[in-house]
Structure 1
């Protein structure tokens, strides 16, 4: 039940963050800054720079952002984990 509540709160937070981002005047930012930023968002698979164990996957699915530089993620063969932004990089297919 606690996990469901946390997930629901993460979804609500994401919705509010989307509304806030849409309200920002993007014309003040250089267009190159928008193009060069990797797309990090919930439901995105990322490459772990250091897997949590020798038996777990080196990829993770981002579930929701918990702080400015922290993400709740799911790692196959490991489970849920809190990651710092410096611990992963985006996967490009």
Structure 2
């Protein structure tokens, strides 16, 4: 999902060790940077913008759910049945 010559920033720790195709990364000149931490005042706003507004965000985040559906989402999260991120829209209401 990265263009040739692009850069990947891996944030956090995945549940399982990822399989990396170093051959492809080298020939495509992909740069991989990692971090264990973020600075909320600096990073959180930009990360939320990516999840909400960019095509790549939609690859990693589910459709926003209403606040009154949060319980079911947290159950799935606790059971390890969530791939990516759950987005919550506090202004949405289920009728």
Q: Do both proteins adopt the same fold according to a TM-score greater than 0.5, normalized to the shorter chain?
A: no
TM-score, normalised to structure 2, is: 0.25
TM-score, normalised to structure 1, is: 0.26
Q: Which has the greater radius of gyration? A: 2
